[in-house]
Amino acid sequence: LSARASPRRALAQTPDASASASADAAASVTASDLAALAGYVRDDVDDRVVILTSHVSLDDGESLPPVEKTISIRGACGSSNTDACVIDAKSLTRHVVVGAVGSLTLENVVLRNGAAKRFAPPSSDGGAVFVFGAFTATRVAFEDCAANKDGTSKGGCVAVAGGVALFTECAFTNAASADDGGAIHASSGVVEVRRSAFENCAAGGLGGGVAGDSASITLRYCTFDETVTAREEASRDAYVGARGAVYLEPFAIYSDYYGADGALLLDDADAEITGADVGPPEGFSYRAEGAGLVARAGFEPPPPGMGFAPPPPSDLSTQNDAQNATDVDASLAVVANGRVSSVSTGFVAGGVAVAFAFLWMLGRFLSKEQHT
C-alpha cells in the first residue's frame, strides 16, 4: 500500500461558458486589456460581471485597484472563450486587495507570479490576494506566488484578515511564505477550500498548505502532494492556532494511518489501528495539527458525477473522541454520547413499571391476608 495517493488535479472541469455568458449578458462587460480591467474594478458600478478575454500583465508593478464593491471577473480566453485567462504580476506586486466592504469573485483565471511588496499596505502577507471582505475563487490557479519579503510574511497566495474566502476546484502550485501558511493564511475570519489541489507549497513556519490563527478553516476533499512542506512534519498540510479551528472532510489524519516511514500503522495484533480496510477513504488524508480545534467537518455530498466521496458517516461516527459511543451488552442497554438510547430507555422504563405494579399487587394481597 503506497503512503499516499497521487493528488487529483484541480481545474479538471470545463465551465459551460455559453450558458454563463447568456445568463450574465445583460450585466456583463468585456475587458481585453489591463486598462479596461482596472477601470471596471475602480469605477462605482456595483454587481458587475467583467468578462476577461485576453491575458494581462501588471508590468508597472502596481496592483489592481482595491475592490470596494461587488464585482466578478470571469476568464474567457482562447478561440472558444473557455480557456483560463492569466493575470501575471511579474513577481513585482500582489494582484489585488479586497476591502472590508468589497466582494470579489474570480472564475476561470490564473493568478501568476504574485509577490507582496515588503511595505505594501496593509502588510507583506498574501502574495496574490489580501482579503478583508469577501473573496470567492472557482477554478482559479494560483501559480508561483510568494509572501517572503520579510521573515514574518504569511500566506504565499492568499491572506485573510477577518474576511470570508471560499475556494472551489482551485490549484495552488509553487507557493511560498516566510512564516505560516505556504498557500493560504487566515489571521481571523472564515475560509473554506473544496476539492482543490496543493502542490509544491512551502511554509517557513507552520501549515505548508493552509494555516490559521483565530480563524475557522474547512477543508473538503483536498489533496496535498509530497512536495508540500512546513517547519513541522505534522502540520505540513494544515495548522490552526489556539483560538482557531480546522474542520476536515473526510476526517482522516495522516498520522492515524501511517508511520513516519510511510508504512501502514498496525497494532500488536497486526490490525490497522484505524479499523479501516484500506486506510484513508480514496487516499484522502491530512497532515494537520494545531493548538486549537481539529475536528470533522459537517458532511456535505459532492456534486453529481463526482463519485470519489465516501458515504455519509453513521450516527456514531460523528461523535468526537470525548463523545465516542460505548457499546454495552445489547440485551441490557446501548449508551451513546452519554445517553441511554431510546430503545433501551423504553425497555428499562417498561420493566420498572411492571415491577412496581407487581409489588403494589403483592402488598395489597399481604395486607388483606393480615386483616383476615
Q: What is the pLDDT along the chain (372 residues), one digit of tens a residue?
A: 334 444 444 444 444 545 444 444 447 999 999 999 999 999 999 999 999 999 999 999 999 999 999 999 999 999 999 999 999 999 999 999 999 999 999 999 999 999 988 877 788 999 999 999 999 999 999 999 999 988 899 999 999 999 999 999 999 999 999 999 999 999 999 999 999 999 999 999 999 999 999 999 999 999 999 899 999 988 899 999 999 999 998 888 877 766 767 676 665 555 554 434 445 655 578 989 989 999 999 877 766 655 444 333 333 333 343 333 333 233 223 333 333 334 344 545 566 666 766 676 766 666 655 555
Give yes or no for a cis peptide into 250 (omega within 30° of 0): yes
Q: Residue 346: phi, psi to the nearest 5?
A: -60, -40
Q: What are the Cα distances from residue 50, in Å, to 15, 62, 83?
A: 16, 20, 15
Determine the pLDDT at residue 4.
47
- Alpha carbons 190 and 161: distance in angstroms, whole number: 9
Do residues 57 and 90 lie in contact, with contact meaning Cβ atoms separated by under 8 Å? yes
Q: Which amino acid is it at 285?
A: S
| Contacts with 200 (C-beta within 8 Å, 6 or more apart), sequence order | 173, 174, 175, 225, 227, 228
Tell whether 45 is covered by a domain.
Answer: yes
Domain count, the chain: 1
pLDDT tens-digit readout, 350-371: 666 667 666 767 666 666 555 5
Tell whether 198 is covered by a domain.
Answer: yes
Query: What is the residue-averaged pLDDT of the chain?
Result: 79
Do residues 147 and 114 lie in contact, with contact meaning Cβ atoms separated by under 8 Å? no
- Alpha carbons 197 and 220: distance in angstroms, whole number: 11
Tell whether 317 is covered by a domain.
Answer: no
pLDDT tens-digit readout, 29-40: 999 999 999 999
Tell whether 325 is covered by a domain.
Answer: no
Do residues 213 and 188 lie in contact, with contact meaning Cβ atoms separated by under 8 Å? yes
Q: Which three cell numbers stand for residue 285?
A: 488524508
Do residues 168 and 197 lie in contact, with contact meaning Cβ atoms separated by under 8 Å? no
Q: Show the CA angle centred on residue 171, arms to residues 283 and 74, nearest 5°.
A: 140
Compute CA 31 distance to the chain's CA centroid, rounded to the nearest angstrom.
31
Instruction: Tell me the H-state helices in 251-341.
Output: none
Determine the pLDDT at residue 365.
63
Q: What are the Cα distances from residue 56, in Å, to 80, 112, 166, 327?
A: 18, 10, 24, 62
Among 223, 221, 220, CA closest to 209? 223
* C-beta neighbour count of 59 within 10 angstroms: 11
Q: What are the Cα distances from residue 200, in Å, to 3, 131, 225, 236?
A: 17, 23, 7, 11
Tell whether 308 is covered by a domain.
Answer: no
- Alpha carbons 126 and 41: distance in angstroms, whole number: 19
pLDDT tens-digit readout, 61-102: 999 999 999 999 999 999 999 999 999 999 999 999 999 999
Tell whether 366 is covered by a domain.
Answer: no
Do residues 29 and 21 lie in contact, with contact meaning Cβ atoms separated by under 8 Å? no
pTM, two decimal places:
0.73
- Alpha carbons 367 and 130: distance in angstroms, whole number: 85
Determine the pLDDT at residue 325.
32
Tell whether 160 is covered by a domain.
Answer: yes
- Alpha carbons 157 and 185: distance in angstroms, whole number: 8
Burial of 6 (0-12, 13-18, 19+ CB in 10 A): exposed
- Residue 233: domain span: 25-255
Tell whether 337 is covered by a domain.
Answer: no
| Contacts with 240 (C-beta within 8 Å, 6 or more apart), sequence order | 207, 211, 212, 213, 215, 217, 246, 290, 291, 292, 293, 294
